[in-house]
Amino acid sequence: MFADISFPISSYQVFSYKIPDQLKSKASIGLRVMAPVRNRKVQGIIVSLKDTTDFKGNIREIDSLVDESPVLNDQLWSLITWLADYYNTPLGVAAKAALPANLSATYEPRSQFYVKAKTGGIPLAANAKSQIALLAHLSKINEFVPASTLGEHASSPIDVCRKLAEKGWAELLEKPVLPDLAGFSFNPIHKKVRFTEYQEKALSQLKTSMDGSEFSPFLLHGVTGSGKTEIYIEAARHGINQNKSVIMLLPEIALTPQIAGRFKAAFGDDVALWHSKLSQSARAWTWKKICSGDYKVVVGARSAIFAPLKNLGLVVVDEEQESAYKQDSPDPRYHARDVALMRGKIHGATVVLASATPSMESYYNHINGKFEYIHLPERFGGAKYPQVHVVDMIKESEETEVYGGIFSRSLLDKIQDRLDKKEQIILLHNRRGYAPVLRCDDCGEVSMCPHCQVALTFHKNGKFLQCHFCNHTQRNLPNKCRECHSINIKLSGIGTQKVEDELISKFPDASIARVDGDAIRSGLNISEVLQQFSEGEIKILLGTQMIAKGLDFANATLVGIINGDTGLYLPDFRAGEKVFQLIYQAAGRSGRGRIPGEVVVQSYNQENAVIQCATQLDLKKYYNICLDERQALNYPPFSWIVRLEVHGKNKSAVENAIQRLKNRFKNIPKGIEILGPAYCYRERLRDQYRMQIVMKSKKEYDPNGGKLHAYYKSIIKSNNGAKLKGGLRLIVDVNPVSLL
Ligand code: ADP
Ligand code: ZN
Ligand code: ZN
């Protein structure tokens, strides 16, 4: 018997080995082995088994097996090989993205005792007061509870429970404390669920599909608060009952502790949370437990799509339009939504892409009949859509003679009104820091990062300027303009810290929390803040786009968007779509409970179609406008895109290299269009000059993208496998989420 072994070296090339007789019965795909490579023994993974080999050279034998049970299954291996090919990454690099770094790490989770009362024990001594009291309490609950939570009833509850168990009055159970809870999920929330007619219908569509065990993709388009999460849970339950497993993807697990909590409540120890904050060893441990079938459900961010579950029946991608699903770097630059679809194909699973604001791609796939469509047009429980007001900030400035102010009068009034009514407020401002730019009043020169073509942002706490791309920090603020030496340099623009200052001065008695990248980096525990907000301790929640989605707080009745225009004029084909989605989603945080909500959007571009449609909550209208635009300009979803980007420290070397690359574009197939080379929008980042060529392929001539795929590969191959010399790098981005 022979095996193909893949080694985690940069190429991850696959090599054939012989399996010695004594290991034959144990060898299987996904097991790690030690095998000789030159004169060393190296760890690799068995990726296929066969009876014969066509390898002609001297074939060597596997030395030993590392695992008892496989750390990979063949379906996952097919996915990894697809990933490598589709995103043009060496197999090894693709495998690294999928597998935890150090699978050999040892880790044992702490364990915890659970206890439950039973009957028929031997009589307890009359003076064993705590035993009697505890037993009385346990009999009332009559289900397993963690012994550590019984401190109220006995000073050392575990000892007392042990005694009760010895005497036959209690059952004790030791269970590992899973490494995933702390900070990433709310306490399990139990609630009674009665599905609405829409939900029932959605569920029956999903269940029928899951019963069929064939790949079927769905777009679940449900307005904010329509009860999508309850549907995920019920569909997952259906899968588990059929002994299938489930992957639940969330764009950013730390920001959605509520959803994780709801899954925990529903499935308890059957759920693993998979996220970047797990330690390496906890990750390896969780991986192995998933392999051995201990978990039925994996809830996690992007990389959870690679969880080695067997018998996968359902994959849900929540907020599928989120760009957090796209890995930016390192390679492979995969999109978890696309990987989810491929994984669904491999497993014959049901894949649900869900959102209140679907991506243009998924929306178009539904229009074209490629995805089955489920629509939930109403909020659950009769909650009304919020009323949206747009404040024209140009008019506001003229009337108040305050230019560049943060709050309009109407937003201030409404905030005060909610505070008076003991309701809560969510304020969105998609710009962190204090002031985004330091500008010379005389010549207009802006302080830029020395490493990037990006303006430095002023941060008030600590008084420094920082680049939000490379984190370059400048502690001595310039006292005069670099260009004209004028001393008239001023901070301008508005960041969340400035908004916070203004809030504190306007509403000194309200408790305010600011959630943004800076706050989190300086130790803010986001799930704690969200918990406090949900309990009403915090009245005003201010944050960047982090707080715009997925949160469900019944008492938040006002959402204010300080600057609805942020990002509107970025030179990217998705700029409008993103602004629309952000406003629409943020509005969806308002009025989710009994009390109707309101939304205030401040804008300097009232007439803009994005602002108009978003504030009218008219999704269909905007999506039609947007699709027309994309079609006219031949952008996705009407075309496939591959972006080739050359990076380097030396500007002219970058220019020359990309020009050489461009010269290789010959015999361009019909339907493929080449843009560039041109400098990227941010022409220098982290000391690297960046130029790009964008290849677009019309779907009309290239329905599944295969043509573009073959063509760009041929170009790169002819360019010596894309290897550039002299510190230059070529980055291949397949289906980029932005062209900035
Ligand atoms: P979405 O994910 O679509 O934004 P959620 O699933 O968070 O919506 O639902 C909004 C609120 O309504 C949540 O508090 C949820 O628990 C509740 N809810 C939704 N459907 C039901 C149901 N059938 N029975 C009880 N509560 C429900
Ligand atoms: Zn100047
Ligand atoms: Zn920088």
Residue 229 CB–ligand 1 contact under 6 Å: yes
> Cα separations (Å) of 228 from 313, 369, 411?
18, 22, 31
Tell me the β-bridge partners of 640: 697
Structure token digits, residue 310:
């067997």
Structure token digits, residue 502:
């203004």
> Cα separations (Å) of 716 from 88, 136, 642, 720?
10, 74, 12, 7
| Calpha distance 171→156 (Å, rounded) | 17
Q: Is residue 154 part of a domain?
A: yes
Phi-psi region of 268 (alpha: psi -120 to 50; beta: other; left: phi over 0): left
Residue 10's pLDDT is 54
- Cβ atoms 690, 740 nearer than 8 A: no
- Residues 446 and 554 occupy one common structural domain: no
Residue 229's pLDDT is 92
The neighbour count for residue 53, using CB atoms within 10 Å, is 14
Residue 230 CB–ligand 1 contact under 6 Å: yes
Q: Specify the ligand 1 atom closest to the Cα of 381.
A: 12
| Calpha distance 284→108 (Å, rounded) | 11
Tell me the β-bridge partners of 111: 176
For ligand 2, the distance from its centroid to the CA atom of residue 488, given in whole angstroms, is 8
User: Which of the ligands is closest to the CA of residue 684?
Assistant: 3
Number of domains observed in the structure of the chain: 6
For ligand 2, the distance from its centroid to the CA atom of residue 459, given in whole angstroms, is 21
User: Which of the ligands is closest to the CA of residue 447?
Assistant: 2
For ligand 2, the distance from its centroid to the CA atom of residue 398, given in whole angstroms, is 28
| Calpha distance 705→46 (Å, rounded) | 31
Q: Specify the ligand 1 atom closest to the Cα of 224.
A: 4
Q: Is residue 104 part of a domain?
A: no
Q: Which of 712, 702, 718 is nearest to 736 (CA)?
A: 712
For residue 71, what is the domain's CATH number?
Answer: 3.40.1440.60
Give SS3 for 373.
strand
Model pTM?
0.86
- CA-proximal residue: ligand 1, atom 23 (nearest): 195
Residue 687's pLDDT is 92
- CA-proximal residue: ligand 1, atom 26 (nearest): 193
- CA-proximal residue: ligand 1, atom 24 (nearest): 193
Residue-level length of the chain? 740
Q: Is residue 105 part of a domain?
A: no
Q: Is residue 719 part of a domain?
A: yes
Q: Specify the ligand 1 atom closest to the Cα of 192.
A: 25
Q: Is residue 520 part of a domain?
A: yes
User: Which of the ligands is closest to the CA of residue 467?
Assistant: 3
| Calpha distance 219→205 (Å, rounded) | 12
Q: Specify the ligand 1 atom closest to the Cα of 199.
A: 23
**Ligand 1 pocket: which of 190, 234, 552 to mutate (most atoms <8 Å of CB)?**
552
CA atoms within 13 A on the CB side of 727: 10
For residue 511, what is the domain's CATH number?
Answer: 3.40.50.300
Residue 179's pLDDT is 59
| Calpha distance 423→224 (Å, rounded) | 20
**Ligand 1 pocket: which of 230, 316, 594 to mutate (most atoms <8 Å of CB)?**
230
Residue 719's pLDDT is 61
**pLDDT tens digit string along 577-596?**
999 999 998 888 888 778 88
Tell me the β-bridge partners of 48: 4
Residue 190 CB–ligand 1 contact under 6 Å: no
DSSP code string of 229-248: HHHHHHHHHHHHHTT-EEEE
- Residues 315 and 247 occupy one common structural domain: yes
| Calpha distance 301→322 (Å, rounded) | 11
User: Which of the ligands is closest to the CA of residue 446?
Assistant: 2
- Residues 326 and 452 occupy one common structural domain: no
- Residues 81 and 220 occupy one common structural domain: no
Q: Specify the ligand 1 atom closest to the Cα of 230.
A: 6
- Tell which of 492, 516, 532 closes a domain: 492
For ligand 2, the distance from its centroid to the CA atom of residue 489, given in whole angstroms, is 7
- Residues 614 and 516 occupy one common structural domain: yes
Residue 226 CB–ligand 1 contact under 6 Å: yes
Cβ neighbourhood burial of 329 (10 Å; 0-12, 13-18, 19+): exposed
Residue 567 CB–ligand 1 contact under 6 Å: no
Crossing angle (nearest 10°) for helices 526-534 and 257-267 = 80
Crossing angle (nearest 10°) for helices 228-241 and 257-267 = 30
Residue 550 CB–ligand 1 contact under 6 Å: no
Phi, psi (deg, nearest 5) at residue 680 = -70, 165
- CA-proximal residue: ligand 1, atom 25 (nearest): 193
Q: Which of 517, 464, 441, 453 is nearest to 688 (CA)?
A: 453
- CA-proximal residue: ligand 1, atom 4 (nearest): 225
Residue 697's pLDDT is 97
Residue 308's pLDDT is 94
Ion ligand 2 neighbours, Cβ < 5 Å = 440, 442-443, 445, 481, 483-484, 486
Tell me whether strands 40-50 and 2-6 are parallel, antiparallel or unpaired.
antiparallel
Q: Is residue 106 part of a domain?
A: no
Residue 193 CB–ligand 1 contact under 6 Å: yes
| Calpha distance 15→47 (Å, rounded) | 10
Strands (E), 32-129: 32-37, 40-50, 64-65, 111-117
- Residues 250 and 312 occupy one common structural domain: yes
The neighbour count for residue 291, using CB atoms within 10 Å, is 22
Give SS3 for 672.
strand
- Residues 465 and 329 occupy one common structural domain: no
Name the DSSP letter for residue 738.
-
For ligand 1, the distance from its centroid to the CA atom of residue 228, given in whole angstroms, is 7
- Cβ atoms 34, 77 nearer than 8 A: no
Residue 11's pLDDT is 54
| Calpha distance 17→57 (Å, rounded) | 11
| Calpha distance 456→420 (Å, rounded) | 39
What does the radius of gyration of the chain's CA atoms come to, in whole angstroms? 29
- Cβ atoms 636, 735 nearer than 8 A: yes
DSSP code string of 203-215: HHHHHHHHHHTS-
- Residues 473 and 500 occupy one common structural domain: no
- Tell which of 98, 132, 155 closes a domain: 98
User: Which of the ligands is closest to the CA of residue 232?
Assistant: 1
Q: Is residue 728 part of a domain?
A: yes
For ligand 1, the distance from its centroid to the CA atom of residue 224, given in whole angstroms, is 9
Range of the domain at 38: 2-98
CA atoms within 13 A on the CB side of 642: 24
Structure token digits, residue 517:
């990248």
- Tell which of 449, 472, 492 closes a domain: 492
**Direct distance between the N- and C-terminal alpha carbons of the chain, in angstroms, rounded to an integer:** 51
Structure token digits, residue 231:
């549907």
| Calpha distance 542→518 (Å, rounded) | 13
- CA torsion sign for 407, 413, 414, 418 is positive
| Calpha distance 454→469 (Å, rounded) | 8
- Residues 617 and 526 occupy one common structural domain: yes
Residue 559's pLDDT is 93
- Residues 374 and 231 occupy one common structural domain: yes
Residue 723's pLDDT is 62
Find the farthest-apart pair of alpha carbons in the chain and give their distance in angstroms, rounded: 95
**Ligand 1 pocket: which of 259, 357, 380 to mutate (most atoms <8 Å of CB)?**
380
What proportions of the chain, in percent to the nearest 5, are helix, strand and coil?
A: 35, 25, 40
DSSP code string of 244-304: -EEEEE-S-GGG-HHHHHHHHHHHGGGEEEE-TTS-HHHHHHHHHHHHTT--SEEEESGGG
DSSP code string of 489-553: EEEES--HHHHHHHHHHH-TTS-EEEESHHHHHTT--HHHHHHHHHTTS--EEEESGGGSSS---
Q: Is residue 739 part of a domain?
A: no
- Residues 6 and 81 occupy one common structural domain: yes
Tell me whether strands 464-466 and 473-474 are parallel, antiparallel or unpaired.
antiparallel
- Residues 503 and 453 occupy one common structural domain: no
Q: Collect the ranges in the chain with pLDDT lower than 70.
A: 8-13, 104-105, 177-190, 550, 718-723
Residue 224 CB–ligand 1 contact under 6 Å: yes
